[in-house]
Amino acid sequence: MHTIAQAQQRAAPDGPSAARIETWLGALAPRVMFPGGWTAAARQAGAEPLWTGRGQPYDESTLRQAAGHLDAAGCTDHVAAAVWHQVTAAVAAADEPVIAYTDMFDQPYYTKKRAHAAPIGRLGNRLLAATYFGLTTIALPEGPTLCAHLSWHKPAAPLRDGLEELFAEDARVDWWHDRVRLHIVDRGANGDPALRWLWGWEIPYLTIGHKRADLWRFQAPTQTTADGRPLVVQPDRRLAGTMADGPWEYIVPAAPDDPTSARGIRFRGAVLLSADEWCGLNVLYKSRWPSIENVLKALQSRGFGRNRTRALELTTRRGTDGALERLREREEALRLEVRDLDARSPAGEHFEKIVTTARKVADVRKAQTKTAKAAPHKYARPVGGAEWLAKWLHVLLFNALALALYTSADEAVRVMTPALVFDLLLGRSAWACVESGRLTLWVDPVASAADRRQQEALIEVFNKLALRCRDATIVLRLHERPMDRAP
């Protein structure tokens, strides 16, 4: 938090001091990890004065407004940069290529205003006002999974929107080429236009195809399984692929453990996998469950999906935005054609063709105006505000917790979810003993012996971090209750 506060103060020297920003961020951090809303989190902020030095916790409205001001001043960008530094440092320490995962998730928002809607599957496909987010994670080899990027979109946004936000920075694309050996995307990006776009950016994607594959049709397989079923690698002809340069299509048995199954699955990828990886392609693709689906569930269990702002703004739907973008691209292509014709024939040899193309430009501009005027303007969630800062802070803390837990020698602690960490330690009541240069927290122990062992292992992890609070070293201890003493 200190580094983020210093960066924010340098970017906005006329704003709050670095010390005030650090205090706000330190008070916001535990509240954004609380499953409830702002008011409920304020009721549980009894330990906050140890950090702030105030006589009582901040009122919920104070921190909510502070979060909004910090986001408007660009503090969220500094938090996002800190998250990216977490990921790049962890990958550099691992010194091995990693696997990335990208998916979209929706966040329902109930409103009585006329708002753009989208189907939310887990709510029975009812049409609701919603916000869509793109999440990208990085699975470290022999390590935890970290969140690398988060993007905010209009309702009904496809996965490609999240990928475009992810690769909007050239430096990140270069890092992707150097460090990511495989990028697994869900069905939302396995259409030909999206894959052609990924192939053009040289992204090593892997996704599942739509088309059915019957194994009996492949009489000349690249390889066969132990039970004689075919494993096929061939160019992805829908993208004009070649066997030498790709992209490729992989056909593998849908049920590897059932030798009688004749159904196959098509995978489409931009990486030529090894023979061992062909055999386990189902398992490799399904690694997205622990590496992004379960990560998202772990985030949401601690309030990641809470609507922390109620702001709405009138805007067009995503489909209209796409139509206008395509018309603008068409106009630019026609203008380039006119300039090319004019440069090739200074004497006016292609005058009629130039006039015809210019008329097409005028027609495209009229179509843009017509589309913009006819577009319905409804309410949608604007990007930014306290919720945007809260989500990035949540991701920052999730990564820090995952990295800390993985230093434990206990396997159960290394794979522990944030919800369980809060149940065993961070959410437990504690006595605070304030001394010179030392802050000892005597944590209330749990009753179960198995949980007590994990609680002790967690305390060991946090003590190794040597956390500090207002120039005092934090030390955690289990509080021995009278009933725990031997007779």
The pair of structure tokens assigned to 76 is 């969220």
What is the distance between the alpha carbons of residues 467 and 463, in angstroms, rounded to a whole number?
7
How far, in Å, are 100, 202, 276, 431 from residue 182 at the CA level? 6, 11, 15, 48
Q: Report the alpha-carbon angle 332-334-336, nearest 5.
A: 70
What is the distance between the alpha carbons of residues 196 and 208, in angstroms, rounded to a whole number?
15
**Residue 349 half-sphere exposure toward CB, CA atoms < 13 A:** 7
Instruction: Quote the DSSP letter at residue 115.
Output: B
- Residues forming beta bridges with residue 105, ordered by sequence position: 133
Residue with tokens 């992209």: 247
Within 10 angstroms of residue 345's Cβ, the number of other Cβ atoms is: 13
Reported residue count of the chain is 487
158 cis-preceded (ω within 30 degrees of 0)? no
Contact status, residue 267 vs residue 281, Cβ threshold 8 Å = yes
Q: Count H helices, E strands: the chain?
A: 19, 17
How far, in Å, are 282, 284, 290, 345 from residue 257 at the CA level? 11, 15, 21, 67
What is the distance between the alpha carbons of residues 356 and 392, in angstroms, rounded to a whole number?
51
Residue with tokens 């008011």: 39
What is the distance between the alpha carbons of residues 132 and 114, in angstroms, rounded to a whole number?
18
Q: What is the SS3 assignment for 97?
A: coil
pTM of the model: 0.89
Within 10 angstroms of residue 128's Cβ, the number of other Cβ atoms is: 18
What is the distance between the alpha carbons of residues 144 and 407, in angstroms, rounded to a whole number?
10
**Residue spans of the chain under pLDDT 70:** 216, 345-349, 481-487
pLDDT of res. 110: 85
